Amino acid sequence: MSKVVRILIPLGVLAAGFFILRVLVKSKPEPEKKPRVNPGLLVEVKKVDAKTERVKVDAKGTVVPAREVVLSPEVTGRVNWMAAQLVPGGRFKKGQNVVRLDARDYKLAVEQQFAQVDRASTELKLEKARKKVAEKEWELFGPKGKGKGTGATAGEGAAQAEEVVALREPQMRTAKTAVKAAESGLARAKLAVSKTLIRAPFNAMVRQKNVEVGQLVGPSSPIASLVGTDAFWVQVSIPIEYLSWVKVPGIGATEPGQGSEAMVSQTVGGDNIERQGRVIRLLGDVDPAGRMARILIEIADPLGLAKDKDGTTRLPLLLGSYVRVEIEGGEVEKVLALPRKALREGNRVYLRSSDGTLDIKEVTVLWRRENEVLVKSGIEPGDQVIVSAVATPVQGTKLRLPGEKAQAPSEGDKAKSKAEKTGKVEADGNGDKVAKP
């Protein structure tokens, strides 16, 4: 076999194989095109209903004293005794002794004033006796027929003046005045003695101590700083627009003491301290930091001194504590409560309409809470609000709920698919492909 033949035989085999492969490929039946099934965007929804809700204003606040006083003596003296509980954190009941000053000088002054009263009283008794003698002498030796009435002459007036002097009436008034002055001095001396004993003006706790036994103190010397324990205040800052929801005595409340109720709480370790309070006052200025309104809430028994019914005591709410405050507002009717995550940017919500498509609505938010919002208008009771994430929200997007199967293709989709397969398609007026008849 020649060299040429040996070369041509392999080439012929390759050409035959290529020809057979091409024939097989062309004769292969084209697979049937099936219409694409649109499963829809999987979403979670919540059906909303209208109801009556009570608005609660959530805020933060700081515990401050409701009553605070710096005790100072009204008299000068040396401290010779002080109560054992006169230490920071010590407690006093109203009227309980706090500090006693050396009262010896003031007691001596009382004795001196007693002597003055006795002397003035004795002088008054003597003057009364002298007056009686003068009256007798006047009856015996005085002029007769003293003038009376408005028609008295100048001579008669002089006679009356002479009678007043003769009867020692000026001396009697002087003696009585001396007695009153001595008695006033005695009362003042006794008052000074009582002021050497300094008492608590109300149920109080010692915040600061400034005195020691043996120290000389006076009216300008602070002894201790006390705060009342019957009640504390919580100073709370809230947005000014929230004031319409809060009852403040004299503003939003018709009667004194009828401010909004509030719950004050603080978490300490694993325990939660709670105290019931009430709004008592609106401060006249705004918070300089946040330009918010400031209100005062009064809480009773903040230190938990009163025992509960079971005999246990509660943890104290300390001054300066940063606390949570929940203020009761008014009731609103026919509002829709939505989960916070259902509210999208721009106060919009996504709804699943009756035909299973996406409907975007803008709503009016009445109140915002930590986990939900109250909507006044924009949606209706019974609407299905989407609470799951929607990556690209487009009006009219087909939606699907969990558990729903993908929708089967319609007859029109089937006809369109068949027409594309056979090539019998044409464009309609909108540019969409439709099957030829």
Query: pLDDT, tens digit, for every residue of 345-386?
Result: 889 999 999 888 999 999 998 888 888 889 988 999 999 999
Predicted pLDDT of residue 222: 95
Query: For 12, how many CA atoms within 13 A lie in the half-sphere containing its CB?
Result: 6
Q: Which residues contact 276 (CB under 8 A, 6 or more apart)?
A: 261, 262, 263, 264, 299, 300
> Would you tell me the crossing angle of helices 104-141 and 154-166 to the nearest 10 degrees?
130
Q: How far apart are the C-alpha atoms of 120 and 185, rounded to whole Å?
A: 12
Which pTM value belongs to this model? 0.67
Tell me: pLDDT of 151 over 50: no
Share of the chain above pLDDT 70, in %: 80
Check if the beta carbon of residue 323 is closer than 8 Å to that of residue 234: yes
Predicted pLDDT of residue 284: 85
> Fold identical between 56-66+230-332 and 72-101+198-226?
no
Which of the four pLDDT bands, split at 50, 70 and 90, describes residue 114?
very high
Neighbours of 43 (CB within 10 A): 19
DSSP category for residue 348: E
Q: How is the chain split into domains, by residue range?
A: 56-66+230-332, 72-101+198-226, 103-144+154-195, 343-406, 410-437
| From 217-221, 283-287, 424-428, the region with the lowest mean pLDDT | 424-428
Which of the four pLDDT bands, split at 50, 70 and 90, describes residue 201?
very high
Tell me: pLDDT of 144 over 70: no
Q: How far apart are the C-alpha atoms of 217 and 114, rounded to whole Å?
A: 27
Higher pLDDT, 131 or 343: 343
Residue range 72-101+198-226 in CATH 2.40.50.100: yes
Q: Which residues contact 169 (CB under 8 A, 6 or more apart)?
A: 131
Predicted pLDDT of residue 170: 81
Joined tokens for residue 211: 């005195």
Which of the four pLDDT bands, split at 50, 70 and 90, describes residue 309?
low
What is the domain class of 56-66+230-332 according to CATH? mainly beta
Which of the four pLDDT bands, split at 50, 70 and 90, describes residue 54?
confident
CATH topology of domain 343-406: 2.40.420
Determine the average pLDDT of the residues in 107-134.
87
Which of the four pLDDT bands, split at 50, 70 and 90, describes residue 167?
low
